[in-house]
Amino acid sequence: MSEILIEACVTSAVSAMNAEKGGALRVELCENLIEGGTTPSAGMIIKTREHISIGLFVMIRPRGGDFCYSEIEFEIMREDVKTAASLGADGVVAGILHPDGTIDVERMAELKALSADMGFTCHRAFDMTADKFKALEDLISIGVDRILSSGGKNKASEGISLIRQLIDRANGRIIIMPGSGVNEETVSEIRENSGAKEFHVTGRSLVPGRMKYRNPDISMGDNPLVPEFDQWITNPDRIRRIVDMADK
C-alpha cells in the first residue's frame, strides 16, 4: 500500500464522490472556493457523508477575507465544529490568527478541544503568519494534527524550500501537507523535493451547466471570473493521475 495520501478539496457531494472514485483517501469539504473556502451547509455535510467512505474533513471558516475573527464569528466557528462532529465528519480544518500575524493559541486550543476525537488541520492561515517556525511550534503545542501550507508562497512549488524545512523541524510531531497548485504536473517534484507524504489537491474540470436558456442580460454574481452557468467539479480522472504521479 502506498504511503502517499491525496486529499481533495471539494465543494459538493458529487465532487467528493468523484474524488473517492479517483483514489483520494480524504476530502476537505467547503464552499466558496473562490474565497479560499468557507464552511459548508449541514445538508452538504450530511449528504457527502452518506455517499463517501473515505475521510471527510469539514472547513470551519465563517467568511472569506482574513483570519482574525470577531467574538460572534468565533462563536459561529465553535457551533460549526460541534455540528461537523454530530454529522459524522472525521475532522475539521480551521485557522485563527491575531492581528500581529501570530497563531491565536487560546481560540485554536478551544476549537481543538471541541473537535474531541476528530482530526484537526490548520489551513493556509498558517501561510499568513509572520513567523512560520513559531507558528509551527504553537500548533504542535495545541495538538493540531497537520498543517496545510504552500510554504508561504502562492503555490507550493514556489515554497518547497520552506516546506522541506518545516517537515524537518516538525520531525514527525505534526504532518506538513503541501497545497495550492499541487496537481498531476507538479506533485511528483513537490514530493521528491519536500519529503511530504500528504498532498492537498483540487483536480477540477469545468463542467457545462444543464440550462438551455441563458439570459445574456443578467449576472447573478459580481465576479466575472466565476462561471455563470458552468460548474467546477472534481474530475476522477485527474485525481487518478495525481495519485499515480505522487507514487512515482
Q: Which residue has the cell 464552511?
A: 39
- pLDDT, tens digit (0-9, with 9 covering 90-100), for 113-161: 999 999 999 999 999 999 999 999 999 999 999 999 999 999 999 999 9
Question: Does 7 have pLDDT greater than 90?
Answer: yes
Count the domains in the chain: 1
Please answer whether residues 220 and 192 qualify as being in contact, where contact means their C-beta atoms are separated by less than 8 angstroms.
Answer: no
Residue 228: band (very low, low, confident or very high) from pLDDT cuts 50, 70, 90:
confident
pTM for the model:
0.95
pLDDT in tens, 94-107: 999 999 999 999 99
Contact 156, 178 (CB under 8 A): yes
Please tell me the distance from the alpha carbon of residue 41 to that of residue 84, in angstroms, as a whole number. 10
CB neighbours of 129 closer than 8 A, spacing ≥ 6? 97, 101, 102, 103, 135
Query: What element of type H or E holds 200?
Result: strand 198-201
Parent domain of 19: 5-246
- Specify the CATH number for the domain of residue 74: 3.20.20.380
